[in-house]
A and B are shown apart, each in its own frame.
Chain A
Amino acid sequence: MEFVELIKTPKVDGVILHRPFQSPLDGTLCITGHHLILSTRVEHHEELWLLHRNIDCIERRFDANRGAIVIKCKNLQILRLDIPGQEEALNIADSIETLSTLEDISLWYPFYFRPRQFDILEDGWQAFNVESELTRLISHADHSWRISHVNKDFTVCPTYPETVAVPKSVTDELLLASASFRDGGRFPVLSYYHGDNGAVIMRSSQPLVGTTGRRCKEDERVLNASLRPGKKGYIIDTRSPNLIQMAKNRGGGCEPEVNYSQWKRVHRPVERHTALQESLCKLVDACNDSRASMDKWLSRLESSNWLGHVKDILTCACLTAQCVDKEGASVLVHGGEGIDSTLQVTALSQVILDPDCRTVRGFEALVEREWIQAGHPFNDRCGKSAYSPARSRYEAPAFLLFLDSVWQVYQQFPCSFEFSTQFLIVLFEHAYASQFGTFLCNSECDKRKLNLQRRAVSLWSWVNRPEVLQNYLNPLYEPNKSVIWPSVAPQSLELWSELYLRWTQDNSILDETNKQILCIKEHNKELRTKVVRIRRQLMDLQKEAIEKGLLAAGNHGNTETASEAYSSSAS
């Protein structure tokens, strides 16, 4: 198929673009295979480049001789194009709609995008190799965990990576048996190893207990092998008892305590799928209605219950972290399929527990390990965003909810993260529409089939370039080695206005504040190095002066202690 066939009118002059807080832009509209471009055709003037994939839905508002197209983007922005000529407008609208909803992934932009502005310094596809990440994770575990290649060629579990970490004593045969007893073959694997006390977080999918109460002794052995001697473990199920009952009728269920006597089961229901999607839609609708009264706004905020979901996820992640850090108990987290709420909880608890996850590289590694390689189906979940009326039942802003929860923790510990909140927004945007291949496909297996690593560029290749990354660093960062316990009280949770109100209010003040913070911190750093430098210089000169006999050694102390004083206060 050629894109040309889908573009009936490639170019229209005299199009006017309307955006909130910016004056209208008048120019020529071009439709290409992947972009909608509006150019004023004046040099050094801004151009709008909008990726078709970023378009969530469009609305047509036509009258006699001109047409207006309202474009609602997946990154929540809303634009309006006024197009002279009804036919042109119709053609444009049709083309955009078709191009933004192409089914065939290999026609999307990442397969065509070749970075011209930058050479690849470090290939993002190789940056977070599963095996080396897992090896690093279990390196403190004094040989009680091992790397298994049981899933080679994705034969055991299509949504897992080929390499996983499991208890040392567990053989691949046991894993095979366990996989046949778990939904989608997602047998229990290591998610996080807590270096302080050896407790672990594992994740899996639900066991296939069913109404007949099936049992799998191998699965029990796999789980028990992860426990430390004499310690009980926790199974945290992210579903309500009701939901579990329903799952049982369909062959799923949860671990019965008779068979898993060393484990204590806890239910922490968190919302999933359609309910989440609806919640987000309601929230975004409310945020876009700037003329609503306070009553109306609060009632819509309440009925969306988005912050309620944030609170649930945070509470569940805190509970998991608590079991691990305070009780030294191992935890298995799962819901139904183990690809949504499970990942939210395991990933967020690592942000709380592990200082490394609060660095740029660590957080990227976390997203790779706990979301992308763990088989969160980004393609299904992030197909549509908050506006589109046509939604499949697979859509759910699970990843966005995770980012929001991280943002909440960030608000409470603004100096403990190496990256800025802007970085979280970048991840949100790229998860929904991107020129990079990182968030494409539903699993590693799918990526392999499309040969993605060779055909597309990784987001990390771009974002980790020093000149790019410097825009996403937190000037207040001061490494924090401890576990950070966020408050989950409703008063502590706020609307992420930087994201949800990003396009409907003026953000220049926020940018300016951030710049100022950077200035203050930079100036401070500069002064400290300068003082240290000049003190050293002065000491050297003093030594020289004394040696030359130009200066009498001081009455208290000799130069030796003096230089010590300088260097000690400098270090």
Chain B
Amino acid sequence: MANKATGKGYENENFYSDIKFMFLGIGNIHVMRNSLLKLLEVCELKDPTMSEYVEGLQSCAWLKHIKAILDTSLFIASAVGEEGNSVLVHCSDGWDRTAQTCSVASLLLDPSYRTLQGFMVLIEKEWLSLGHKFTDRCGHLARDLKETSPVFSQFIDCTWQVLQQFPAAFQFNERFLLTIHDHVFSCQYGTFIGNCEKDRIDLRLPDRTYSLWGYMLHNMSDYVNPLYKRNGRYDTMLKPNTGPPNIRFWRGMYNRFDSGVHPRESVLDVLCVAKDQSSSLEDHLQLLNKRLGAMKALLGQNSVTSCDSLTDSAVLSDVESDARCRNAASVPASNNKLLQSTEAVVRGNAANSESPSDCESGIDVKSLRISQCSLEEKRSAELRAGELEMEANSVAVEWKTLRNVHNCSCLTQFEYFSRKYHCWKCGDVFCTRCIDKHTALPGHYSQRPVPVCRNCYKEVKCNV
């Protein structure tokens, strides 16, 4: 109604027949800004009682707004996905609440947006190219504080809420969302600078800045959700439960730097380590089986029994997916090109849906098979006693536990959200800076480069 007074409003029902109107009131940018300010006050309360805290959550109404956005998005998604109706979404300008609800609805409807690259595409499509005013909303320039509003933060929060309810439906993890959120404000990359596409072209950002996506794809392994399952029950529309007890306060976001309040052991980290370790061991097993076959042949035994066909096939798929992961990372990092290439990849994915891997994109399986063949030749050289020893030494069977690892050997402290990396050779834990080397290990069949610490890197290089 307030809008009508200024000559705007909504579609006149008499002129738009066959249309059903739904008004789903979500607060405007000013309401949201104040709500976040109050929420942060609650987070910073000194030693609050439970009552003060819950009352604070209630009075700041942040969770209420999150629920409203989710409810509306779910409504849109159901209308499209279940009833087969087309929906037009708008608010007053069409770049805040509209962007939120449309992007969350897309996330619920289409599994491809729940992948790492798909989510980037979604942000490019629904936020950047549709003109969400990042510079104004995030206060990149100290212009008008009244224009700032945590609209994008709410979108990230909503995504987290859905991720909480469907832990296996997303290829990415909480760290991925936090990193994107950090860089929306950091302006370290050009991606989120400007208020619309035209601004970005005028500023020649693709030529003058790096894209955030390039950086993130390069560090893809940090953002992979170990529980992600590509196929199965999550291939369809997600229907999150938007009952109030299911909408939760996101401690990892709003109390991120209060290291005391986070769990002391992270399930996701432990699972990531288990998966990486398994991948390394599968690769190693493949080589061991090969050696075993050769050894038995040498001793004149029947070599057929030695081959463990089960692990063989498993290794192949895993190795493929890993290699694809790296290929994806080498995608050129300029803004423009990237958008295209990621979209292409997403399309490629959809076409290539029978791919067996449960992580990573879908790049070039064939060329990999070829390189696999040449590998076969290279590595089937005759047995040498010392080599076996070296191969075994180069792959750690037991990896150091993450428990009670508070800092790297370089004394860098680990925060709750900082990734702790294992050296695949010695199995020790390091920080991101100390694990900057990748190399192929003699004990791995695939000879793909894997993360190793500096000492191990030297050792491997010396032996070669």
Binding site for B on A (CB under 8 A): 286-287, 290, 292-299, 301-302, 305, 307-308, 310-311, 411-416, 476, 478, 480, 482, 484, 487, 489-495, 497, 500-501, 504-506, 509, 512-513, 516-517, 520-521, 523-524, 527-528, 530-532, 534-535, 537-539, 541-542, 544-546, 548, 550-557, 559, 561-562, 565-566, 569-570
Closest Cβ of chain A to B154, distance in Å, is 14
> Are A513 and B288 also in contact (CB < 8 A) when A294-B64, A552-B385 are?
no
Closest Cβ of chain B to A548, distance in Å, is 7
Residue numbers in B under 8 Å from A551 (CB-CB): 298, 383-385
Closest Cβ of chain A to B236, distance in Å, is 14
B90-98, B109-117, B124-132, B397-405: which lies at the interface: B397-405
**Which of A294, A415, A531, A532 touches B403 (beta carbons < 8 Å)?**
A415
Q: How far is the CA of A532 from the CA of B392 in the complex (A)?
A: 10
Q: How far is the CA of A286 from the CA of B243 in the complex (A)?
A: 11
Q: How large is the interface on B (under 10, 10 to 19, 20 to 34, 35 or more residues)?
A: 35 or more
Q: How far is the CA of A556 from the CA of B52 in the complex (A)?
A: 69
Residue numbers in A under 8 Å from B226 (CB-CB): 520
Give the residue name and chain of the A residue nearest to B67 (CB). Answer: A294
Closest Cβ of chain A to B422, distance in Å, is 13
Report if B177 contacts A (CB, 8 A).
Answer: no
> Are A554 and B384 also in contact (CB < 8 A) when A297-B244, A297-B245, A516-B168 are?
yes
Decide: B282 and A527 in contact? CB cutoff 8 A.
yes
Decide: A295 and B271 in contact? CB cutoff 8 A.
no
> Are A305 and B51 also in contact (CB < 8 A) when A294-B63, A298-B57, A550-B299 are?
yes
Residue numbers in A under 8 Å from B85 (CB-CB): none
Which 3 A-B pairs have CB atoms at the shortest separation, nearest pair first?
A: A554-B386, A297-B244, A554-B385
Decide: A557 and B389 in contact? CB cutoff 8 A.
yes
Residue numbers in B under 8 Å from A517 (CB-CB): 227, 267, 271
Residue numbers in A under 8 Å from B63 (CB-CB): 294, 298
Give the residue name and chain of the B residue nearest to A478 (CB). Answer: B401
Decide: A561 and B389 in contact? CB cutoff 8 A.
yes
- Give a binary string over B278-311; 1 marks a CB under 8 Å from any A CB, 0 the rest: 1001101100110110011011000000001001
9 A-B pairs besides A298-B54, A534-B285, A555-B386 with CB distance below 8 A are A298-B57, A497-B246, A509-B165, A509-B167, A512-B233, A513-B168, A524-B281, A531-B281, A554-B387
Residue numbers in B under 8 Å from A484 (CB-CB): 264
Give the residue name and chain of the B residue nearest to A554 (CB). Answer: B386
Instruction: Count chain B CB atoms within 10 A of each CB in A301, A310, A490, A531 and give the residue with the most.
Output: A490
Report if B255 contacts A (CB, 8 A).
Answer: yes
- Give a binary string over B244-267; 1 marks a CB under 8 Å from any A CB, 0 the rest: 111111010001001011111101
> Are A534 and B288 also in contact (CB < 8 A) when A487-B261, A491-B255, A562-B389 are?
yes
Give the residue name and chain of the A residue nearest to B296 (CB). Answer: A541
Q: How far is the CA of A521 from the CA of B227 in the complex (A)?
A: 12
Q: How far is the CA of A544 from the CA of B383 in the complex (A)?
A: 14
Q: Tell me the residues in window 352-411 of chain B with beta carbons closer than 8 Å to chain A beta carbons.
A: 383-389, 392-393, 395-398, 401, 403-404
Closest Cβ of chain B to A520, distance in Å, is 5
Closest Cβ of chain B to A337, distance in Å, is 26
Give the residue name and chain of the A residue nearest to B248 (CB). Answer: A494
> Are A415 and B281 also in contact (CB < 8 A) when A554-B386, A554-B389 are?
no
User: Secondary structure at chain A's binding surface: helix, strand, loop or mixed?
Assistant: helix
Q: Tell me the residues in window 26-80 of chain B with beta carbons closer than 8 Å to chain A beta carbons.
A: 43, 48-55, 57-58, 61, 63-64, 67
Report if B185 contacts A (CB, 8 A).
Answer: no
Q: How far is the CA of A290 from the CA of B244 in the complex (A)?
A: 7
Residue numbers in B under 8 Å from A524 (CB-CB): 274-275, 277-278, 281
Decide: A505 and B227 in contact? CB cutoff 8 A.
no
Closest Cβ of chain A to B317, distance in Å, is 13
Report if B229 contacts A (CB, 8 A).
Answer: yes
Decide: B50 and A490 in contact? CB cutoff 8 A.
yes
Report if B203 contacts A (CB, 8 A).
Answer: no
Decide: A513 and B227 in contact? CB cutoff 8 A.
yes
Q: How far is the CA of A298 from the CA of B58 in the complex (A)?
A: 6
Decide: A414 and B267 in contact? CB cutoff 8 A.
yes
Q: How far is the CA of A494 from the CA of B270 in the complex (A)?
A: 22
Give the residue name and chain of the A residue nearest to B234 (CB). Answer: A509
Report if B166 contacts A (CB, 8 A).
Answer: yes
Decide: A538 and B292 in contact? CB cutoff 8 A.
yes
Report if B330 contacts A (CB, 8 A).
Answer: no
**Which of A293, A307, A482, A521 touches B64 (beta carbons < 8 Å)?**
A293
Q: How far is the CA of A347 from the CA of B292 in the complex (A)?
A: 54
Closest Cβ of chain B to A59, distance in Å, is 23
Decide: B49 and A411 in contact? CB cutoff 8 A.
no
Closest Cβ of chain B to A550, distance in Å, is 5
Residue numbers in B under 8 Å from A292 (CB-CB): 244
Decide: B292 and A537 in contact? CB cutoff 8 A.
yes
**Which of A287, A489, A562 touches B385 (beta carbons < 8 Å)?**
A562
> Are A301 and B383 also in contact (CB < 8 A) when A287-B245, A495-B245, A562-B388 are?
no
Instruction: Count chain A CB atoms within 10 A of each CB in B48, B67, B167, B277 and give the residue with the most.
Output: B167
Give the residue name and chain of the A residue nearest to B244 (CB). Answer: A297
Decide: A545 and B298 in contact? CB cutoff 8 A.
yes
> Are A542 and B285 also in contact (CB < 8 A) when A308-B50, A520-B226, A528-B397 are?
no
Report if B418 contacts A (CB, 8 A).
Answer: no
Decide: B403 and A548 in contact? CB cutoff 8 A.
no
Decide: A414 and B265 in contact? CB cutoff 8 A.
yes
Residue numbers in A under 8 Å from B289 (CB-CB): 534
Closest Cβ of chain A to B113, distance in Å, is 19
Report if B432 contacts A (CB, 8 A).
Answer: no
> Are A530 and B275 also in contact (CB < 8 A) when A412-B265, A520-B226 are?
no
Q: How far is the CA of A480 from the CA of B167 in the complex (A)?
A: 26
Report if B179 contacts A (CB, 8 A).
Answer: no
Instruction: Count chain B CB atoms within 10 A of each CB in A305, A412, A413, A534 and give the residue with the most.
Output: A534
Q: How far is the CA of A545 from the CA of B166 in the complex (A)?
A: 54
Decide: B385 and A298 in contact? CB cutoff 8 A.
no
**Which of A480, A562, A566, A569 touches B386 (beta carbons < 8 Å)?**
A562
Residue numbers in B under 8 Å from A541 (CB-CB): 292, 295-296, 299
Residue numbers in B under 8 Å from A295 (CB-CB): 58, 61, 64
Decide: A478 and B292 in contact? CB cutoff 8 A.
no
Decide: B284 and A538 in contact? CB cutoff 8 A.
no
**Which of B168, B229, B265, B288 touches A531 (beta carbons < 8 Å)?**
B288
Q: How far is the CA of A295 from the CA of B292 in the complex (A)?
A: 66
Of the A-B pairs whose beta carbons lie under 8 Å apart in the complex, a sample of 18, sorted by A's number, is A287-B245, A295-B64, A297-B245, A301-B54, A415-B403, A478-B403, A480-B403, A490-B49, A491-B249, A491-B255, A506-B241, A516-B227, A520-B274, A534-B292, A535-B392, A541-B299, A554-B386, A562-B385
Instruction: Count chain B CB atoms within 10 A of each CB in A504, A513, A524, A532 and give the residue with the most.
Output: A524
Decide: A493 and B50 in contact? CB cutoff 8 A.
yes
Residue numbers in B under 8 Å from A550 (CB-CB): 298-299
Give the residue name and chain of the A residue nearest to B404 (CB). Answer: A482
Decide: B385 and A302 in contact? CB cutoff 8 A.
no
> Are A305 and B383 also in contact (CB < 8 A) when A413-B263, A520-B226 are?
no
> Are A501 and B245 also in contact (CB < 8 A) when A301-B54, A487-B261 are?
yes
Residue numbers in A under 8 Å from B393 (CB-CB): 565, 569
Decide: A308 and B397 in contact? CB cutoff 8 A.
no
Closest Cβ of chain B to A295, distance in Å, is 6
Decide: B285 and A527 in contact? CB cutoff 8 A.
yes
Decide: A538 and B388 in contact? CB cutoff 8 A.
yes
Residue numbers in A under 8 Å from B64 (CB-CB): 293-295
Closest Cβ of chain A to B296, distance in Å, is 7
Q: How far is the CA of A20 from the CA of B311 in the complex (A)?
A: 43
Q: How far is the CA of A411 from the CA of B261 in the complex (A)?
A: 11
Instruction: Count chain B CB atoms within 10 A of each CB in A287, A478, A489 and give the residue with the most.
Output: A489
Residue numbers in A under 8 Å from B278 (CB-CB): 520, 523-524, 527
Residue numbers in B under 8 Å from A528 (CB-CB): 281, 397-398
Q: How far is the CA of A489 from the CA of B226 in the complex (A)?
A: 29
Decide: B274 and A521 in contact? CB cutoff 8 A.
yes
**Which of B50, B265, B277, B296 touches A413 (beta carbons < 8 Å)?**
B265
